[in-house]
Amino acid sequence: MNSQAKLPIGIFDSGIGGLTVVRQIHKVMPHEDLIYLGDTARVPYGTKSPTTVVRFACEDTQFLLRAGVKAVVVACNTASAWALATLQARFAIPIFGVILPGVEAAVGQTRNQRIGVIGTSATIRSQAYRKAILARSEAVKVYERACPLLVPLIEEGWIQHSVTLSVLHEYLEPLLRHDVDTLVLGCTHYPLLKRAVRSVVGKNVALVDSAQTCAYYVREQLADAGLLNTRRRQPGLIHPHVTDDAERFTAIAGRFLPAPMAPARKVHLPPMGSEC
């Protein structure tokens, strides 16, 4: 075990969606301490431009590095889509995104070579999923759809609401008409809608949960690098940080995380220089 292995894993997202990744990472690596940063003062990232998303992601990563993490997980599809390469070039620490693990799972699961991808406007505009899928298999056809209303519906708590089902029908029917047999839930909020999505797509479409696939991927990568914390017996601690007030975060966080966590701390992110 590497001497760095005892350090916490850093995880960031634009807001609370990344807690689905925290949940899965805590499940598959229960001994790891986790430092979470939700950039709730500037949420969402999914409607913003690439330049702005890259700037925010650099500031988030810088914060986690200063907090002494051994690796960073970009628990946000939008930031993974636009900023991962820049972060990996800029910071000397392992940095993992959510897109690659989801792509590998989808390509492994499809039988008819027709994969659907849903995500925020920015994620879909980036074509990050399409490019990564086609890089693995040119035979696959990829059908994408931006679903900008799903995050607000989840944050409103309308998880099983008839309006949410109508919105899902409108968003997903064009993908179903293309006969996709695998659907990537390409936003870390979406696992909360899994049951509603299932009721719209039926039982023959495989759902790829990018939070879950990411957790397995990170465990594998950390193990390969000797960075897994294998020595501790007790469960790891989850330390959440937010850039807006902690109150609303704590209220909503319960929907994402069944495990108890420390109260969220409000932090200020100093802007990066021009280098990022």
Pick between residue 14 and residue 213 the one whose CB is nearest to a copy of itself.
14
C-alpha span between 84 and 106 (Å, rounded): 20
Determine if 145 is a binding residue for a copy of itself (CB under 8 A). no
Q: How far apart are CA 11 and CA 43, in angstroms?
A: 15
- Work out whether 149 is an interface residue with a copy of itself (CB under 8 A): yes
Say if residues 40 and 244 touch (Cβ distance below 8 Å): yes
Name the residue nearer to a copy of itself (CB basis): 14 or 188: 14
Q: Is 76 a catalytic residue?
A: yes
Catalytically annotated residue among 58, 147, 187, 276: 187
Q: Which of 4, 6, 31, 47 binds a copy of itself (CB under 8 A)?
A: 47
Cβ atoms within 10 Å, residue 89: 10
Provide the minimum distance between the beta carbon of 152 and a copy of itself in the complex, in angstroms, as a whole number: 4
Strand, helix or coil at 192? helix
Distance of closest approach, residue 167 Cβ to a copy of itself, in angstroms: 6
State the nearest-atom distance from the C-beta of 168 to a copy of itself, in Å: 10
274 binds a copy of itself (CB under 8 A): no
- Nearest-CA neighbor of 240 among 6, 5, 13, 7? 13
Q: Is the dihedral of CA 25, 183, 163, 12 positive or negative?
A: positive
Query: In angstroms, rounded to a whole number, what is the distance separating the alpha carbons of residues 101 and 185?
Result: 12
- Cβ atoms of 112 and 140 within 8 Å: the answer is no
Q: Is 159 in the site for a copy of itself (CB under 8 A)?
A: no
Q: Say if CB 47 and CB 148 are below 8 A apart.
A: yes
**Binding of residue 156 to a copy of itself (CB under 8 A):** yes
- Is 49 a binding residue for a copy of itself by CB under 8 A? The answer is yes
Q: For residue 12, which amino acid is it?
A: F
Q: How far is the CB of 92 from a copy of itself (least distance, A)?
A: 28
Looking at beta carbons only, is 102 or 186 nearer to a copy of itself? 186
The two tokens of residue 100 are: 């690659």
Q: Is 42 a residue that touches a copy of itself (CB under 8 A)?
A: yes
User: 235 CB contacts (<8 Å, ≥6 apart)?
Assistant: 26, 30, 31
Cβ–Cβ under 8 Å, residues 80 and 69: no
Total interface residues for a copy of itself by CB under 8 A: 28
Pick the closer one to a copy of itself by CB: 252 or 257: 252
d(CA 43, CA 15): 6
Residues 215-254 that bind a copy of itself (CB under 8 A): 243-245, 247-248
The catalytic position among 58, 76, 214, 276 is: 76
Residues with catalytic roles: 76, 187
Using CB under 8 A, list all residues that contact a copy of itself.
Answer: 40-43, 47-52, 148-149, 152-153, 155-156, 158, 162-163, 166-167, 170, 243-245, 247-248, 271
